[in-house]
């Protein structure tokens, strides 16, 4: 089974600079969802028809073949423009649209099986939906067999009352499809070559046309506008949350929990409200995440607690406690049992096992060993206005409050730094460094002032 995916349209109704099929649902481009579902259904080859914003699509999507449809003259024309690619093909060609991201590989697999078992020339997936506005309607014969598809814009008043719609998902005998496609005309409201017309043409040549009605119409949702994009995201989120809960994750309030499609969460982890788990984030078991936490592309171990925190493109190991009010920026690795909380920023740094950054630190471009304690207000001074430099801190280092470590600088194992120091030179092992002016007390000063 091979697949062709139509993704050349401009998506005028989105009013966007981005091609429609690259808009994201559940954190993943719509087109990528469609490709992934096709592969999951057993497709061996995917040809994507691109046109509007073709270069952007090529940059964003890989692992498929592309065909350029220079002018977008309709869905039938889009399929026809890929004809050469299937010159030697036999058997089933599945046709999908790049703007219907909600169907699953499972649904497609069953659909293909039905098509192949019924020995039809073409099978179309249909759905009964509450609001059919904008969709092509399935018109049936008196005996309930397929008659034709009529587009919303071409439909009569009576046809518009039909709630069974074309999902834009088809299986064809590949050679019969391309032969019939050359006969499609563009005499309709939009002046376009409609792919659904091919079904009528095949039917008129006494070919068998089948329909499969889906149970869950939300899977066939097509996205043409921003409002539909938001609705699709909502469906995807609900589905993801259910899937996580079914696998043993507690979600306190699914309505305020936003988990992207590819995120993984381990058993007995609890997610508190207002939490966003995005991109390729992976969370282990027995964690407590949230409230109000955003993790984007973060690998999280087991037994981690994070609240009121934002972390991105980083790794957080087992037993770490984060928050409230922590920002972990890209390239950071927070080792086991580290504690970071109360207005701390960490950037591009490695924090060793069991170290503590309990309040008001900025740690940037730093390699810190294990068992360290950073006093309140510790700052790595990593930027001289032109270049960034690294700070190296050994194991079991104790930094007193309100200290600056001016990089490049090394503080060796076991060293202590007195509070209020500005450290510009390396501190050897087990030394105490004091870098502040001495205090002077002036006796009787207040009396003299009077």
Residue of closest CB approach to Ca ion? 222
Asked whether the beta carbons of 303 and 289 are under 8 A apart, the reply is: no
Q: Is 7 in the site for ligand UD1 (CB under 6 A)?
A: yes
H helix and E strand count, the chain:
8, 39
Closest contact distance (angstroms) between CB of 11 and Ca ion is 8
- Pick from 247, 214, 221: which is nearest to 236 by CA? 221
The 3-state DSSP class for residue 389 equals coil
Burial 171-189 (b: 16+ CB within 10 A, else e): bbbbebbbebbeebeeeee
Instruction: Determine if 427 is a binding residue for ligand UD1 (CB under 6 A).
Output: no
Q: Does 99 bind Ca ion (CB under 5 A)?
A: yes
94 or 295: CB nearest Ca ion: 94
Q: Which stretch binds Ca ion (CB under 5 A): 91-99, 102-110, 228-236, 302-310?
A: 91-99
Candidate segments 91-99, 285-293, 336-344, 439-447, binder of ligand UD1 by CB under 6 A: 91-99
Rounded CA-CA distance 97/30 in Å is 10
Picked from Ca ion, ligand UD1, none, the partner binding residue 78 (CB below 5 to 8 A depending on kind) is ligand UD1
Task: Decide the pairing of beta strands 416-417 and 404-406.
Answer: unpaired
* Contact call for residues 119 and 241 (beta carbons, < 8 A): no
Regarding 6 and contact with ligand UD1 (CB under 6 A), the answer is yes
Rounded distance between C-alpha atoms, residue 305 and residue 201, angstroms: 61
**From Ca ion, ligand UD1, none, interface partner of 100 (C-beta below 5 to 8 A by class):** ligand UD1
- CA separation (Å) from 217 to 145, 232, 283? 20, 12, 31
CB 314 within 8 A of CB 330: yes
Closest to ligand UD1 by CB, 195 vs 306, is 195
Catalytic annotation, pick one of 152, 312, 327, 359: 359
Angle at the Cα of 173 from the Cα atoms of 211 and 205, rounded to 5 degrees: 75
Q: Is 395 exposed, middle or buried (0-12, 13-18, 19+ CB in 10 A)?
A: middle
Q: How far is CA 203 from the centre of its chain?
A: 41
359 given a catalytic annotation:
yes
Q: Which does 194 bind (CB under 5 to 8 A by kind): ligand UD1, Ca ion, none?
A: ligand UD1
The size of the interface with ligand UD1 (CB under 6 A), counted in residues, is: 29
In the complex with Ca ion, which residue's Cβ is closer, 53 or 222? 222
| Region of 96-104, 146-154, 328-336, 409-417 interacting with Ca ion (CB under 5 A) | 96-104
Contact partners, residue 210, CB within 8 Å, separation at least 6: 114, 115, 118, 120, 122, 123, 124, 146
Check residue 320 for interaction with ligand UD1 (CB under 6 A): no
One of 38, 93, 127, 195 touching ligand UD1 (CB under 6 A): 195
Site string for ligand UD1, 47-86 (x = CB under 6 A): --x-------------------x--xxxx-xx--------
DSSP letter at 437 equals: P
Query: Taking CB within 5 to 8 Å according to partner kind, which of Ca ion, ligand UD1, none is near residue 49?
Result: ligand UD1
Phi-psi label, residue 189: left if phi above 0, alpha if psi -120 to 50, beta otherwise? alpha
- Closest among 297, 300, 278, 279 to 288, alpha carbons compared: 300
10 Å CB burial of residue 142 (0-12, 13-18, 19+) is: exposed
In the region spanning residues 141 to 180, those forming contacts with Ca ion, defined by CB under 5 A, are none
Rounded to a whole number of angstroms, the minimum distance from the CB of residue 222 to Ca ion is: 4
- Residues 46-85: x/- map of binding to Ca ion (CB under 5 A)? ----------------------------------------
Q: Which of these segments, 5-13, 363-371, 380-388, 432-440, binds ligand UD1 (CB under 6 A)?
A: 5-13
Contact set for ligand UD1, span 105-144 (CB under 6 A): 135-136
Contacting residue, 11, 51, 101, 222, with Ca ion by CB under 5 A:
222
Per CB under 6 A, which of residues 145..184 are in contact with ligand UD1?
Answer: 149, 151, 165-168
Q: Which does 371 bind (CB under 5 to 8 A by kind): Ca ion, ligand UD1, none?
A: none
CA-CA-CA-CA torsion sign (438, 443, 447, 450): negative
Structure tokens at 189: 């409201």
Strand partners, 93: 2, 172
Binding mask 266-305 for ligand UD1 (x = CB under 6 A): ----------------------------------------
CB of 157 to ligand UD1, least distance (A): 18
d(C-alpha 127, C-alpha 193), whole Å: 23
Residues engaged in binding Ca ion (CB under 5 A): 99, 222, 224
- Catalytically annotated residues: 359
Residues engaged in binding ligand UD1 (CB under 6 A): 6-9, 49, 69, 72-75, 77-78, 97-100, 135-136, 149, 151, 165-168, 194-196, 222, 224
């Amino acid at each position: 089974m091979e697949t062709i995916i139509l993704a050349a349209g401009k998506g005028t109704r989105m009013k966007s600079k981005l091609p429609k099929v690259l808009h994201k649902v559940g954190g993943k481009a719509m087109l990528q969802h469609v490709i992934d579902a096709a592969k999951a259904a057993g497709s061996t080859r995917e040809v994507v028809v691109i046109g509007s914003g073709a270069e952007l699509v090529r940059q964003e999507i890989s692992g498929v073949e592309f065909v350029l449809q220079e002018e977008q003259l309709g869905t039938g024309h889009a399929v026809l423009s890929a004809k050469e690619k299937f010159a030697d093909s036999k058997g089933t060609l599945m046709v999908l649209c790049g703007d219907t991201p909600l169907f699953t590989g499972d649904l497609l697999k069953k659909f293909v099986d039905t098509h192949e078992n019924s020995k039809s020339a073409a099978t179309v997936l249909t759905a009964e939906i509450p609001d059919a506005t904008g969709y092509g309607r399935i018109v049936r014969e008196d005996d309930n067999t397929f008659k034709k598809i009529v587009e919303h814009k071409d439909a009569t008043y009576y046809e518009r009352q039909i709630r069974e719609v074309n999902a834009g998902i088809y299986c064809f005998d590949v050679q019969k499809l391309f032969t019939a496609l050359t006969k499609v005309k563009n005499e309709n409201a939009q002046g376009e070559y409609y792919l659904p017309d091919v079904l009528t043409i095949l039917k008129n040549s006494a070919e068998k046309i089948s329909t499969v009605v889906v149970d869950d119409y939300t899977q066939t949702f097509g996205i043409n506008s921003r409002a539909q994009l938001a609705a699709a995201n909502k469906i995807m989120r609900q589905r993801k949350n259910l899937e996580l809960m079914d696998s043993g994750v507690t979600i306190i309030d699914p309505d305020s929990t936003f988990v992207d499609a590819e995120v993984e969460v381990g058993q007995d982890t609890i997610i508190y409200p207002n939490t966003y788990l995005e991109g390729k984030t992976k969370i282990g078991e027995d964690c407590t995440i949230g409230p109000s936490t955003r993790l984007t592309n973060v690998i999280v171990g087991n037994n981690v607690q994070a609240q009121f925190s934002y972390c991105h493109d980083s790794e957080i190991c087992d037993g770490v406690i984060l928050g409230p009010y922590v920002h972990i920026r890209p390239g950071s690795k927070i080792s086991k049992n580290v504690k970071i909380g109360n207005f701390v920023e960490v950037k591009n740094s490695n924090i060793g096992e069991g170290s503590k950054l309990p309040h008001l630190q900025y740690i940037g471009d730093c390699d810190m060993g294990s068992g360290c304690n950073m006093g309140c207000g510790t700052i790595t001074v990593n930027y001289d206005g032109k270049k960034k430099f690294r700070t190296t801190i050994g194991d079991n280092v104790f930094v007193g409050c309100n200290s600056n470590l001016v990089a490049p600088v090394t503080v060796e194992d076991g060293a202590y730094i007195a509070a209020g120091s500005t450290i510009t030179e390396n501190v050897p092992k087990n030394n105490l460094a004091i870098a502040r002016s001495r205090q002077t007390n002036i006796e009787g000063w207040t009396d003299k002032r009077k």
